Structure 1
Amino acid sequence: MGWLAIVLAVVALALFGAWRYAMATNAVFLLDGADRVFGGTAGARLALRDSRYGPLAAQRIDVMVPDPAPAQPLPVLIFFHGGSWNSGSPGDYHFVGRTFARAGYVVVLAGYRLTPDGIYPHMLEDGAKAVAWTRDNAARYGGDPERVFLIGHSAGAYTAAMLSLERQWLGREGLPEGFVKGTVGLSGPYDFYPFTSDSARAAFGHVPVPETTQPIHFARGDAQPLLLLTGDADTTVKPRNSKALARAVGNLGGAVETAIVPGADHADTAMKLAAPFNRDRRVLDPVLAFLSAHGGASAPVQAGGR
């Protein structure tokens, strides 16, 4: 092994360790920094930073767009971050924005209230408001408000799934049935009652009928298409969540796909959206294929923007 290969191997190990630390401490900005270094920033531009879609401090929004921008309106992807309902912000996840902007999307990174303020159903109220903001503002950033998709990781996948399955949240914001064209959940909790984690108890433990907090409770056959992607080594949010929801929706005649990534754990399904880890395309490719099949962009993503 040459010296360059040794250096690259050491750097890769250091990055992997930094990512594990980031996930353990909710310091996901470390991963965003790695993405900037190894993937560059070319091909995507931050068009809106730390703005608001509502009056509350947590109702923040960032928008990432392709650079240069194409002439035609682009599909829009709204991303809800994870963090156990108690941490995270849109700015930590610019790597997601860069990755999907390069793939031909206007990417809306939406924050929401976190515990102790962000108890159920505040994350859903905020998520719905972010979708309504997107309807009203996507065009000014080159987005097509007729082609809006949702994606979330972990706690954010919970929000994306609930907005897709339980009609009331988007309905409260005046959004018509079918406004969202498809939803992607990455390592999401969809069937997690009884609550076994402190974070779940903090966010949902006060609800008199806890079953009504569960996405599987609202499985229906006429929802927009779903892609539920997870890793078979996920011990934080076990793969049975994705399998159970897919089975429930499928049994009702709904359009649902699952993608189980061998050897991937809870962190991996987000990590593989950032450089240099996105060279392993087992997360990105199924997501892009699903979105394209339902009206999203058809152009393949580049691994980096340099």
Structure 2
Amino acid sequence: MRRFLLLTPLAVLLATVVVMLATEYVVARPSHRTKDVAYVAASAPDFDKERHILDVYSPKKAAPNGVGYPVVLFIHGGSWTSGNKNIYTFIGRRLAKQGVVAVLINYRLAPTVHVPEQAADCARALAWTVNNIKQYGGDPARVFVMGHSAGGGLAALLATDNELLVRNGLPENPVRGAIMNDPAGLDMYSYLKEMKYEGDAQYKVPFGNDPSVWKEMSPIYKIKPGLPPFIFYIGGETYPSISGSSGRFRDRLKATEQPAPYTIIPGRHHVPMVLQLYWQHNIIYQGLLKLVGAGLK
């Protein structure tokens, strides 16, 4: 199968996660979960009580440095049309167990909104995190973003698009690094112009029909000197469009003299790239903890 994104039925992902949740209580003991915190004011005209919420996972022990733990904001995938933070509780638990405050967010989905509104939601969640994470044990000066699939593309926008952040309450970009887990949407402008694969028209549901929007929502065109560090983890058996756009993104970063560690994980398909985060000593966590300055426990 050569399609672009997560075309494996969501039921497969959900079934796997159910098995994982059976042992979550063991993982949960060193962490505390604060559920369903609104990151958009309820008085806002576009407030969505189901999608404008996030969870915070904090280590139960106070940070030994007296300042706070590093923070990772995780954005879920789902082809911009599906997904929920509650599927990924294992990521929040694993990060908190290893000395990271994790913020897992929901955002509005297509077709109710399009990707520009989704990017704005993610930026508002980031602003909430910077302004509030200290009370959850996190250090607002060490905030990182992470995403899988469509969430990877949205996370890359947060790391590269300062104007997006300014429009949503962040006069300076607080992102200190970005972890790309099999990211999709890094170059939707080229992808939707080419329309190489069967079924590609479905991605016009979240992105619309305007090529200028495709380009504006493609972080590859926002690469410039001085960006925060990126690290990439790509499945060896992922969709060609994901590996291709990720490679081009990495090359453009290198052209600005920005190192971009790029790890291909042999044999991994798209969905297992996120499911492997259930295991604490996974290679992705090893790189993440090094980037954010946390130690394995």
Correspondent of 2:249 among 245, 252, 256: 245
Find the aligned partners of 2:60 and 2:296 in 1 and give their Cα distance. Answer: 15
Q: Given the alignment of the two structures, is residue 161 of structure 1 paired with residue 153 of structure 2, yes or no?
A: no
Q: How many equivalent pairs are there?
A: 272
More displaced 10-residue stretch of structure 1: 247-256 or 144-153 = 247-256
Find the aligned partners of 1:227 and 1:214 in 2 and give their Cα distance. Answer: 18
Identity %: 28
Number of the residue aligned with 2:109 = 114
Correspondent of 1:43 among 30, 35, 46: 30
Number of the residue aligned with 1:287 = 288
Find the aligned partners of 1:163 and 1:207 in 2 and give their Cα distance. Answer: 22
Find the aligned partners of 1:26 and 1:252 in 2 and give their Cα distance. Answer: 41
Asked if the contact 1:53–1:60 (Cα under 8 Å) also holds between the matched residues in 2, the reply is yes
Correspondent of 2:54 among 54, 61, 66: 61
Correspondent of 1:88 among 76, 83, 89: 83
Asked if the contact 1:227–1:256 (Cα under 8 Å) also holds between the matched residues in 2, the reply is yes
Find the aligned partners of 2:30 and 2:12 in 1 and give their Cα distance. Answer: 25
2:131 is paired with a residue whose SS is helix
Q: Specify the code of the residue in structure 2 equivalent to 1:203.
A: P
Q: Given the alignment of the two structures, is residue 300 of structure 1 paired with residue 296 of structure 2, yes or no?
A: yes
Unmatched segments (≥5 aa) in structure 1: 1-20, 302-306
Q: Given the alignment of the two structures, is residue 205 of structure 1 paired with residue 208 of structure 2, yes or no?
A: yes
Cα offset, 1:257, TM superposition: 2.0
2:277 is paired with a residue whose SS is coil
Unmatched segments (≥5 aa) in structure 2: 1-5, 41-46
Q: Specify the code of the residue in structure 1 equivalent to 2:226.
A: D
1:24–1:69 CA distance, 2 compared to 1 (3 A): farther
- Give deviations 1:218-264, integer Å, cap 9, x for gaps: 11121111112111210275311211101011112224221111111
Correspondent of 1:269 among 273, 283, 286: 273
Number of the residue aligned with 1:131 = 126
Number of the residue aligned with 2:93 = 98
Number of the residue aligned with 1:4 = none
Q: What's the TM-score once normalised by structure 1's chain length? A: 0.82
Find the aligned partners of 2:124 and 2:176 in 1 and give their Cα distance. Answer: 17
Cα offset, 1:70, TM superposition: 3.7
Correspondent of 2:187 among 177, 188, 191: 191
Find the aligned partners of 1:32 and 1:139 in 2 and give their Cα distance. Answer: 30
- Give deviations 1:55-85, integer Å, cap 9, x for gaps: 2231111111113444531111100001110
Asked if the contact 2:13–2:271 (Cα under 8 Å) also holds between the matched residues in 1, the reply is no
2:125 is paired with a residue whose SS is helix
Find the aligned partners of 2:218 and 2:150 in 1 and give their Cα distance. Answer: 12
1:146 is paired with a residue whose SS is strand
Cα offset, 1:137, TM superposition: 0.9
Q: Specify the code of the residue in structure 1 equivalent to 2:81.
A: N
Q: Specify the code of the residue in structure 1 equivalent to 2:159.
A: S
